[in-house]
Copies of this chain bind each other. A is one copy, B any other.
Amino acid sequence: MPKSTVCSRRKPSAKREAILDAAGEVFLEQGYAAASMDNVAARAGVSKATIYAHFTSKDDLFRAMVRRRCEQGEVFAPPSRPADARATLTALGRRLMDLLLSPEGLAMYRVVMAESARQPDLARAFYESGPAAGKEQIAAIIADLARRGEMAVADPWVAADLFVGMLRTDLFMRALLGLPQPEGRSLDGHVATAVETLMRAHTPPEKEDRP
């Protein structure tokens, strides 16, 4: 995968980067409509006219900001050395929860969903480089576990979907709504429950050993 010096169709002008950073903060905090170009300019430390020298409109700036934040490589690395299904899924689940519950990630979900009606292509780009890419990587790891006989999986994509779904429960919904998390349950316990349920439904016959 290309990582740097490739696809730099624009030289990384310092001001341009500052504007994009500021736009990220303002749009993600306030939403597209409530955010103002004056606000972005102030937070970037430039004048409003400078923004319009780099971007043709508020819309253009918003799209550039979202697209830049979508450019991220592999977020779910396969385990460095082969491990059993429970350990692999637990690490994976924990990583997913951290991503889902990060403030920037949550804000991104909110703002893109809010604008999805007016920016269908942007919503698609976000989905494909975010949730879809992540699920694809998880499905690949599950497929590998199945290949090694650690799990009995008919369709790795369905299994990945179930796994992500069991992790992205009320906890995620509450986070998206900005509500405080209930104190009782820990993230690790939450992940363990999902892993256990998935394993019970996908344990290969020769490994059957109920606790």
Are B165 and A31 in contact, CB atoms less than 8 angstroms apart?
no
Q: What is the bound-complex CA distance between A110 and B113, given in angstroms?
A: 6
C-beta contact mask, A135-161 vs B, less than 8 Å → 1, else 0?
100000000000000000000001001
Tell me whether A72 is interfacial, beta carbon within 8 Å: no
Additional pairs, 11, CB under 8 Å, beyond known A127-B174, A131-B173, A165-B167: A31-B33, A32-B33, A109-B113, A110-B113, A113-B114, A123-B177, A124-B177, A127-B173, A127-B179, A132-B170, A165-B194
Tell me whether A16 is interfacial, beta carbon within 8 Å: no
Write the residues of chain A forming the contact surface with B, with a CB cutoff of 8 angstroms: 29, 31-34, 109-117, 120, 123-124, 126-127, 131-132, 135, 158, 161-162, 164-170, 173-174, 176-179, 193-194, 196-198, 200-201
Copies in the complex: 2
Residues of the B chain whose Cβ atoms lie less than 8 Å from the Cβ of A132: 170
Q: What is the bound-complex CA distance between A33 and B58, given in angstroms?
A: 15
Q: What is the bound-complex CA distance between A198 and B201, given in angstroms?
A: 8
A164, A166, A177, A194 interface centre (most CB from chain B within 10 Å): A177
> Who on chain B is nearest to A132 by CB?
B170
> Who on chain B is nearest to A107 by CB?
B117
A-B contact pairs, 5 of them (CB 8 A): A32-B34, A123-B177, A123-B179, A127-B173, A127-B177
Are A31 and B131 in contact, CB atoms less than 8 angstroms apart?
no
Residues of the B chain whose Cβ atoms lie less than 8 Å from the Cβ of A110: 113-114, 116
Q: What is the bound-complex CA distance between A33 and B127, given in angstroms?
A: 24
> Who on chain B is nearest to A110 by CB?
B113
Residues of the B chain whose Cβ atoms lie less than 8 Å from the Cβ of A198: 197
Residues of the B chain whose Cβ atoms lie less than 8 Å from the Cβ of A166: 162, 165-166
Q: What is the bound-complex CA distance between A197 and B176, given in angstroms?
A: 26
Are A117 and B29 in contact, CB atoms less than 8 angstroms apart?
yes
Are A169 and B164 in contact, CB atoms less than 8 angstroms apart?
yes
**Of B33, B196, B201, which one neighbours A33 at CB under 8 angstroms?**
B33
Are A178 and B114 in contact, CB atoms less than 8 angstroms apart?
no
